[in-house]
Chains A and B, each alone.
Chain A
Amino acid sequence: MSEKEITEMTTPGYEIPPELRHQVTITTLERIYNWGRANSLWPMMFGLACCAIEMIATAASRYDLARFGMEVMRPSPRQSDVLIVSGTVTKKMVPQIVRLYNQMAEPRYVIAMGACASGGGPFKEGYNVVSGIDKFIPVDVYIPGCPPTPQALLNGLIALQKKIERQSLRDLPWYQKGAAEPIPIPVLGPDLMDPRKYALIREVTRRQATQAQEGEVSNE
């Protein structure tokens, strides 16, 4: 750790007497805990499209994710902390992504890598592409670029580490009482349907049906 990082971590607002400096250090449990969490983020081995190639390059020895404590890409959601959504999210893939996210052990983080995962990218208007994975799962860091270079991805991962170091354990959802609610898995029919929007969809269909009925009545 650099000098600056050490001072950032060891200044919780207590004055250390001058004769004890460089011998005693004070920190808070939260900071030391967050520091540990931020430096052991294991990403999931999960690639979707061309961004995945850049993600693979980032994990390889030229850029080497392991330098940031991200060690290895875990091939199981149970063992991973970060879900890097690397690439175009098609409507057919969303149910699987949400399922993987639900299976990840908490604390869990999501990085939307590239334009497609953040907001649909060049395929935003496409019939088969979801315009942003954050419509379904909460995203922590967005990395623009098409695709982001390995260094841009590393920059995003460092941004995620900084975010984790600033978090307070009191208001994080995964340190509250009770089990977390899993995100309902979207249903792929003729089009993608989000189960959280059933009430809205039902309302719209009902309105359209009554309108059609009224139209028929007036035609007669």
Chain B
Amino acid sequence: MTGWGVLKSLWVTFKHLVVTYIEDLRYGKRRYFTPEGVEARRSSDVRGIFTVQYPEEKLPVPEAFRYLPFLVYEEGPNGEKQMRCTSCGICAKVCPPQCIWIVRRNDPQTGRPIPAPAAFYIDVDICMNCGFCAEFCPFDAIKMDHDYEIASYNRLSEHIYDLEKLAKPVSYYASIRPTDYALEEAARAQKGDAKKAGSTAG
């Protein structure tokens, strides 16, 4: 029969509409704009509407989610930023599209290089969010961010991220990737213990 398929598909839409109201009556206000509501609506056996009302409620990103890279710094006792980056340049070498530019810092008195970056640029218009830099960094200094709300009106002034824009504290890293952070801290503690044991034995 002509139009039977159209009717069948409209019936599916109509069922969705009705079920949405039934679910709204059953669960009430906690279905919308609450974390558990979002969690319930994103599951595969959701009934009724499953739209995430984006600016008001956000779908939580998985821990391994990666967007743009950022540089981790430790907060010193007086609030100064101690960059973990040593400007070794491994990230710049492994970066497939070559979007990282690092300038090594020199000691102003002796003129010899010191392990810290004087400048660090990432062109986010080239970066392909592969995460190789974070994977290869031997000092856990560069990590992949979760922040995706970075639309801008001018790419020439805003899309070259410098040291100022890239630097984020360790506490932020620990908050977005708790599992990775815990593993890294455990490994570092173990390494420190081994070193201590080695120095006492030697």
Complex Cα gap A208–B169 (Å): 54
Q: Please give the distance in Å from B39's CB to the nearest CB on chain A.
A: 14
* Contact assessment for A121 and B125 in the assembled complex, using a CB-CB cutoff below 8 Å: yes
Within 8 A of A (CB), among B117-161: 123-129, 148-155, 158-159
Most buried by A among B54, B59, B61: B54
* Contact assessment for B54 and A63 in the assembled complex, using a CB-CB cutoff below 8 Å: yes
Residues on B with beta carbons closer than 8 Å to the beta carbon of A121: 97, 125-126, 128
Chain A 177-203 interface mask (CB, 8 Å, partner B; 1/0): 000000000000000000000000000
Name which residue of chain A comes closest to B50, CB basis: A62
Residues on B with beta carbons closer than 8 Å to the beta carbon of A124: 97, 125-126
* Contact assessment for B151 and A63 in the assembled complex, using a CB-CB cutoff below 8 Å: no
Size bracket, chain A contacts: 20 to 34
Name which residue of chain B comes closest to A139, CB basis: B155
Interface residue? A115 (CB, 8 A): yes
Within 8 A of B (CB), among A125-159: 132, 134, 139-146, 148-149, 151-152, 154-156, 158-159
* Contact assessment for B54 and A142 in the assembled complex, using a CB-CB cutoff below 8 Å: no
If A61-B51, A121-B97, A151-B59 touch, whether A145 touches B67 (CB-CB below 8 Å) is yes
Count of interface residues, chain B, beta-carbon cutoff 8 Å? 30
* Contact assessment for B153 and A64 in the assembled complex, using a CB-CB cutoff below 8 Å: no
Q: Please give the distance in Å from A85's CB to the nearest CB on chain B.
A: 13
Name which residue of chain B comes closest to A153, CB basis: B151
* Contact assessment for A141 and B153 in the assembled complex, using a CB-CB cutoff below 8 Å: yes
If A67-B53, A145-B68 touch, whether A151 touches B148 (CB-CB below 8 Å) is yes
Residues on A with beta carbons closer than 8 Å to the beta carbon of B149: 151-152, 155
* Contact assessment for A154 and B97 in the assembled complex, using a CB-CB cutoff below 8 Å: no
Complex Cα gap A139–B125 (Å): 14
* Contact assessment for B51 and A115 in the assembled complex, using a CB-CB cutoff below 8 Å: no
Interface residue? A120 (CB, 8 A): yes
* Contact assessment for B151 and A159 in the assembled complex, using a CB-CB cutoff below 8 Å: yes
Interface residue? A78 (CB, 8 A): no
Q: Please give the distance in Å from B37's CB to the nearest CB on chain A.
A: 15
Complex Cα gap A124–B154 (Å): 18
Complex Cα gap A151–B148 (Å): 8
Complex Cα gap A25–B50 (Å): 36
Chain B 54-92 interface mask (CB, 8 Å, partner A; 1/0): 110011010000011000000000000000000000000
* Contact assessment for B58 and A151 in the assembled complex, using a CB-CB cutoff below 8 Å: yes
Name which residue of chain B comes closest to A149, CB basis: B148
Can you identify 20 A-B contacts, CB atoms within 8 angstroms? A62-B52, A63-B52, A67-B53, A115-B127, A115-B128, A120-B125, A121-B97, A121-B125, A122-B126, A134-B155, A143-B150, A144-B125, A144-B127, A144-B159, A145-B67, A145-B68, A149-B148, A152-B149, A154-B54, A156-B151
Chain B residues at the A interface, C-beta cutoff of 8 Å: 50-55, 58-59, 61, 67-68, 96-97, 123-129, 148-155, 158-159
Chain A residues at the B interface, C-beta cutoff of 8 Å: 61-64, 67, 112, 115, 118-124, 132, 134, 139-146, 148-149, 151-152, 154-156, 158-159, 163
